[in-house]
Amino acid sequence: MKKEKLSVMVIAVIVTLVSALFHFCGAAGLWDAKVSDWLNQRSSVTNKKIFIIGIDDKTLQQYGPVNTWSRDIPAKLIEILSADKSGGPAVIGLDVIYSEQTAAEADGHFARACAEAGNVVAAAGFSFKEQPETDETGNVVYNPYHVDHTLEPYPVLRQHVTCGFVNTMVDADGYVRQAMAYLDHEGERVYSFSAQIYKSYQESRGKEAVLPATYGGNNRYYFTYSGKPGGYSVVSMADVLDGTVDATLFRDAIVLVGAYAVGMQDAYTPAIAHNSQMYGVEIHANIIEALLEKKTQLPVPPIFYGVAAGILCGLYFLAAFLPSRELKILPATLLPLVLAALSVFGSRLLYQRGIIAPVILLPLSVSAIYLAQIVHGYLVELLRRRRVLNVFRQYVAPQVVDKISRDKDFELVLGGENRHIAVLFVDIRGFTTMSESLAPEEVVEILNEYLSLTTRSIFDNGGTLDKFVGDATMAVFNAPFDLDDYIFRAVCTAWDMKMGADAIAEKFEKRFGKSVAFGIGVNCGNAVVGNIGCDFRMDYTAIGDTVNTAARLESNAKRGQILISSEVYAAVKDRVQVTPIGEIPLKGKSNGVFVYQLDDVARG
């Protein structure tokens, strides 16, 4: 049992460490991220001070493709939004990179409009290329976010706007869950588009802009979405330009101008809606709101996986060494479920406090351990069953063992059952006297020869070897399972023993000058059959008057004689030849028992 518990603990430790390593290496990260999205990304009421002016299909139909526009068009938009000097938008964010110069007059017009507005954040972009760099310790490391080149607004416009890079962080599974706060480039800190708008908006309200803690070489953080696609107030740019939408709607608000048409190819899959596409400008809106509402998160540090693995190992270490009777199936099944629920609840609680912890690490580890324990239990039971069957082969015929191994419904009734059986006792007559004059090894040889004969005779007739008692053998028929024609089988077994004993007696007569023979008794009737003993040592046997009578018949049998009771004779009289002995007294019985001597058996 200790070995079994130790093996369970070893399985738990191995599975837990593998699971933790699986997560630490990122192999389970994408699965976990999807589960975390489902658990934590919930749409809420979006900020009413964030508006999107979409360059939508209506705008494109009216003004044509964006790359053909005169800069007078975005200049006009900025002028309309900033016309009310007492209360225009707090920040205007242009999610379009105006990097190329066009007509000088139009380019200047656009730059002057932005300068007069004084609150425009324009989009810029970085192109990254993995580059070897030397860290502070002098070691060469590869930086995947080395800036290869930048894409900024054309020079005149660049002088009158604040820039923010619009690079979108897309995870390996294609979903957007993270954003960058800033990058340090050429000695200057450049903020992301969303972070710069957040900073400008806070400054317009006289509040401090506090950026979230970040991780990694590109200063990333996770964020919680507030709205699904279409969750923010969106108006068509065409409607603002022609006056359909009153610009006073945007007073003191954050106004984002960006692509809102499929053809502009600025759409991504958001973590909040896996089956939908969200325009880049809407993702910026969600990031800005996350910064305003402090709905940002960091991943747990790597040490978390080691701690989690240690806790799991500790739990299963304790579980493995509980007494086996305490490990009921219901608690064993509930434990993984409870731990899984606690994991989900705990990860949700940590997420609300700004930490993204693995959601499926604990459930996956527990489930894997639980499955491993089931498989382990199955293998242990399979080996135990084989051991039991191997031991059982010492007591019953091989065909009986085969039947038991195939019969899934077979069950030994613990504590005993009342069955009608046939019982056979056989004892070697003259063995004690003969053994006194022989060497010990010769005694053992003779005894083994006779016991082999009795065992083979019992098994050949489908009986169960109950026990050896010195030079005596006890067998039962019709237990532990039903056996057809079991009384006749017991009689045939006695006859086979008698016939076999004659050949053995002749062999030993020649070798030792002495021979022995069997005395056999057979009876039938009801008896208590089952596992009798204590929890650490028990025997499968039969007890009762039927057994005692069979033993008395055997003790009264002479050398080479088989005695059967009247009950046995009544059951097989058509197939045997007997000599009536008459009623004889038996020790322990008040009345005599009528017995017969078996003379021959007629097998079909």
What's the confidence (pLDDT) of residue 376? 66
Nearest C-alpha neighbor of 77 from the set 61, 65, 93, 64: 93
Do 283 and 168 touch, CB atoms closer than 8 A?
yes
- Is domain 398-601 annotated with CATH 3.30.360.10? no
Do 467 and 436 touch, CB atoms closer than 8 A?
no
CA distance 257 to 183: 23
CA distance 211 to 181: 7
What's the confidence (pLDDT) of residue 19? 59
What's the confidence (pLDDT) of residue 13? 61
CA distance 588 to 549: 9
CA distance 449 to 432: 15
Question: String of b and e for 112-123 (b: at least 16 CB within 10 Å)?
Answer: bbbeebebbbbb
DSSP state of 45: P
The per-residue pLDDT for range 480-512, each reduced to its tens digit, is 888 999 999 999 999 999 999 888 888 888 887
Backbone φ and ψ of 293, nearest 5°: -95, 5
| Residue entry with tokens 């007492």 | 86
What's the confidence (pLDDT) of residue 400? 54
What's the confidence (pLDDT) of residue 468? 85
- Cβ partners under 8 Å of residue 86, min gap 6: none
| Residue entry with tokens 């912890």 | 357
What's the confidence (pLDDT) of residue 317? 58
Cβ neighbourhood burial of 95 (10 Å; 0-12, 13-18, 19+): buried
What's the confidence (pLDDT) of residue 433? 74
The model's pTM: 0.64
Torsion of the alpha carbons at 68, 71, 76 and 82, rounded to the nearest 10:
130
What's the confidence (pLDDT) of residue 359? 80
Q: How many residues does the chain have?
A: 604
CA distance 78 to 63: 16
Question: What parts of the chain have a pLDDT lower than 50?
Answer: 1, 322-327, 413
Domain extents for the chain? Answer: 44-296, 398-601
- Cβ partners under 8 Å of residue 51, min gap 6: 232, 233, 234, 235, 249, 250, 253, 254, 255, 256
What's the confidence (pLDDT) of residue 401? 61
- Number of Cβ within a 10 Å radius of residue 533: 10
Going from the C-alpha of 578 to that of each of 28, 423, 572, the distances in angstroms are: 81, 19, 11
Q: Which two tokens stand for residue 294?
A: 């402090």
What's the confidence (pLDDT) of residue 325? 43
CA distance 551 to 557: 10
Q: Which residue(s) pair with 537 in the sheet?
A: 534
DSSP annotation string for 495-533: HHHHHHHHHHHHHHHHHHS---EEEEEEEEEEEEEEEEE
Do 376 and 7 touch, CB atoms closer than 8 A?
yes
What's the confidence (pLDDT) of residue 42? 85
